Amino acid sequence: MPSLKDIRRRIGTVKNTQKITRAMKLVAAAKLRRAQENILKARPYAVELHEVISELAARADAEDHPLLEQREPRRVMMVILTSDRGLCGAFNTNILRAAEKHYREHKDKHEVFQLAVVGRKGRDYLRYRGIEVDRYFPGLDVGTALERAKEISDAILEDYLDDSLDKVWLFYNEFKSAMSQQIITEQLLPIRPMELPEGHEAAIDFVYEPSKREILDTIMPMYVEVEVYRAALESTASEFGARMTAMENATQNASEMISTLTLEYNKARQAAITKELLEIVSGAEALKG
């Protein structure tokens, strides 16, 4: 049975850990609030832009722009969004398991299968399992999401326009609530056209001003950057939500452990006091005899 000193030491250690988890929960909650505001502002614009681009892709011809061209997927890239830090529950584990499963199921179907990973946790997970990471980007945060999204989209567009890639998939956690995230697998490139009814007037192409090529050269790369930015915001909000929930659970577990250890300490202390009383009584009785 542990000594009273050992139990007191364990109680002190758990209390110190509880202070850390409580502080981390408050920090995550503050960052989640900012990330949630950002994603709620960006979602409507991103959704509307996606619909516009999908309809534009359906009206235009594939040869009008390289990002619309449906090629044979010989060279494929997966972009996986994870975090630099842990202590956020199953946030990283879920997305990485889904991405690893997709990779192992499809890697033999393509000549080249590249992996681009955002976040140190994703890079370390894949390297530990012997999976090569072709591109690595530092993790996301509330203040760096836009800058990182532009860096990622520029690298993807450069490879795609150079014919080094034929298809690009995006894997990320979509934010639902602080306790719920949904894994999303999205085809980023080539841009998927909206399915329009055959013979419908919507199938007629737009009239472009100043020119079709000039407009497509501007709006198509912008769409890719916005999609990556939205995914970055979703992933960031999901990470902070998962960390806040994990730290709240850890704080509650620490409280329960402190209660259990305190009860154990009181029992051990009472047993020690009872033992001392018995020794005193026994000694007094021995002196009388």
- Catalytic amino acids? 88
Sequence-separated (6 or more) residues with CB below 8 Å from residue 10: 2, 261
State the pairing for strand pair 112-118/135-137.
Answer: parallel
Radius of gyration of the chain measured on its C-alpha atoms: 29
Question: What is the C-alpha to C-alpha distance for residues 91 and 82, in angstroms, rounded to an integer?
Answer: 8
Question: What is the C-alpha to C-alpha distance for residues 65 and 212, in angstroms, rounded to an integer?
Answer: 9
Contact 4, 265 (CB under 8 A): yes
Amino acid found at 203: A
Question: What is the C-alpha to C-alpha distance for residues 180 and 15, in angstroms, rounded to an integer?
Answer: 28
Which residues pair with residue 177 across a beta bridge? 180
Question: What is the C-alpha to C-alpha distance for residues 27 and 215, in angstroms, rounded to an integer?
Answer: 43
